[in-house]
Amino acid sequence: MTAPELRIRFLGGLGEIGRNAALISVDGQGVLVDFGVMFPKADMPGVDLVLPQLEALDDVELLGVFITHGHEDHIGGLPFLLARRHVPIWGSRTTLGFVRHRLDEYALGESELVALDDTGVVELGSFRVEAIPVTHSIPGALAYAVQTPAGLVLHTGDFKVDHTPLDGRHMGLARIAALGTNPGVRVLLSDSTNAEEEGWSPSEQMVGPALFDLFARFRDARITVACFSSHLHRIQQVAQLARAHGRRLALLGRSLQRNVSLGLELGLLDRDLFAHQVDAREVRERDPAQVCVLATGSQGERMAALHQLAFDPQRWFAVADHDVVVFSSDVIPGNESAVNLLVNQFTRLGATVVTSPRERVHVSGHAMREELALIVELARPEYFVPVHGEHRHLAAHAELARRTGVVRRGVILARDGAELVVGDDEAWLEETPWGEYLYVDGVVGDVSRGVLRERRDLSEEGVVVVSVTVSRDGRVIGEPQLTSVGWVHDERGDALLEEVCAVLLDALRAGPLADDDALRELIRQQVRLVIRERTKRRPLVVPMVTRVDGR
């Protein structure tokens, strides 16, 4: 008898960092692992968020969503998923705390959130999902072993192998090894973010001494540490140092305050350390040597605290030469210029800026090559698929997995939208339309690709509005009126518009003017043609036709 086919749809995160989501299904029933968002890239003007395609879930009975950890690229899409269908969500208590914050912002009403402990098991339909603890840059991260009627899928989620974790919660390496032997792993999906980095990622504990050095070196300075607001272990370390050096903490940014409350509530942060805070607005009145500021926005996000601190001296305090600003984070690919802007601005204001990796004020939360190879070796999967990374990271991880020599059947390089089908003795990829981006602009699916293209043209090439008046019987009345935005404002621009106007008028007099759509298309073509010939630009052309009862 042949076993049913195991199918895994990769809805995001393969080929880019963000919007991680994988649908694991057998016989039309499935579970999702994560449902994240991606933040828009520079070529997506006006887009708030990018989601995995929701249509990909329509033909499967979705039994539940298993969240690996509380980072946005793993949970950010949940409000949009839940707005569409009711489905229970599992995760660690910590992860669900972050999920609840996210859901509360969207007022979705009752959602079914079910907490799993570190060795929790859930039976759902023909699936049995087991949690495995992993270490990462946020507490409470889990990997999942999804046992299906067609074999076991092991999804690592984001992880690093930290042998000296701050909270003493170790990664379940022994459990992964046990699963690798019995029942054996059919498919291993593993985090590729650092697949190009040699060696072993340093423990989170390594950051403490580096920060301690800074506090000792800059005894008289006001120290501001910027990090991810979800990195509760880092926050705890900074708070410990602040107290050890007689400094009071000030928390800048709403997400930081909210996450610290969550951390206290869950017992992840030490209450004593956060008992005596300074209000952010009182920092300016304090002796710089007696405060330590924690801020969000280390990626240069425009709305975040660090950006405001850099550019708005009225908001909290004015950064000056007695300030030290520590970026306790890596730059996520794509954020380089935004971060650089901040570093330059703080430097301009006279502050000393400390960044990683020049000083070890940050360690990555993602496994490097030795750790990645270890996981492949312990799991000894039939098939290996690298996930969570840009194409180069996936390719490096695939190559590494091949080199371990323990992947029994094959290493498969998939990308967004692909569906992996695992049959009795072979596996293959099927193309689907579900790799496409789903853009969120206030409302789900508000923005089509056409709209995006228009916005891009608008921002890069400018816009020309052409209004033409024609009589009901199709004759042009007067001259076309051309207005341009984002265009050269001098005689050359005016001369060009006049030339366009003349060419257009000729075409209008010759062409069929009965149908409005045809008329608009004619205007668009003619105007574009002349402008492109003269300037090599391709502005957005907006034709406006008015029909009047003319002579």
Pick the closer one to Zn ion by CB: 74 or 186.
74
Beta strands (DSSP E) in 40-148 are 49-51, 61-66, 89-91, 113-115, 121-124, 127-133, 142-148
Dist CA 283 CA 322 (whole Å): 13
C-beta of 364: minimal distance to Zn ion in Å? 11
Pick the closer one to Zn ion by CB: 228 or 346.
228
Pick the closer one to Zn ion by CB: 77 or 543.
77
C-beta of 135: minimal distance to Zn ion in Å? 11
Q: Are 359 and 214 in contact (CB under 8 A)?
A: yes
C-beta of 155: minimal distance to Zn ion in Å? 12
State the DSSP code for 457: H
Pick the closer one to Zn ion by CB: 39 or 274.
39
C-beta of 69: minimal distance to Zn ion in Å? 6
C-beta of 337: minimal distance to Zn ion in Å? 22
Pick the closer one to Zn ion by CB: 66 or 215.
66
Dist CA 183 CA 410 (whole Å): 18
Pick the closer one to Zn ion by CB: 71 or 175.
71
Dist CA 406 CA 380 (whole Å): 5
Q: At what angle do helices 369-379 and 391-404 cross, to 10 degrees?
A: 50
Pick the closer one to Zn ion by CB: 74 or 455.
74
SS3 426: coil
C-beta of 502: minimal distance to Zn ion in Å? 57
Pick the closer one to Zn ion by CB: 63 or 232.
232
Q: Are 262 and 98 in contact (CB under 8 A)?
A: yes
Radius of gyration of the chain (CA): 28
Tell me whether residue 203 is exposed, middle or buried, using C-beta atoms within 10 angstroms of its C-beta: 0 to 12, 13 to 18, 19 or more.
middle
Q: Are 394 and 20 in contact (CB under 8 A)?
A: no
Dist CA 69 CA 468 (whole Å): 57
Pick the closer one to Zn ion by CB: 20 or 224.
20
Is the previous residue joined to 165 through a cis bond, with omega within 30 degrees of 0? no
Q: DSSP assignment of 473-541, as one string?
A: TS-EEEEEEEEEESS--SHHHHHHHHHHHHHHHHHHHHS--S-HHHHHHHHHHHHHHHHHHHHS---EE
C-beta of 159: minimal distance to Zn ion in Å? 9
C-beta of 157: minimal distance to Zn ion in Å? 8
C-beta of 54: minimal distance to Zn ion in Å? 20
Q: Are 266 and 296 in contact (CB under 8 A)?
A: no
Pick the closer one to Zn ion by CB: 22 or 508.
22
C-beta of 490: minimal distance to Zn ion in Å? 49
Applying CB under 5 A, which residues contact Zn ion? 71, 73, 158
Picking from 359, 372, 445, the residue whose alpha carbon sits closest to that of residue 191 is 372
Question: What residues have CB less than 8 Å from 358, skipping those under 6 apart?
Answer: none
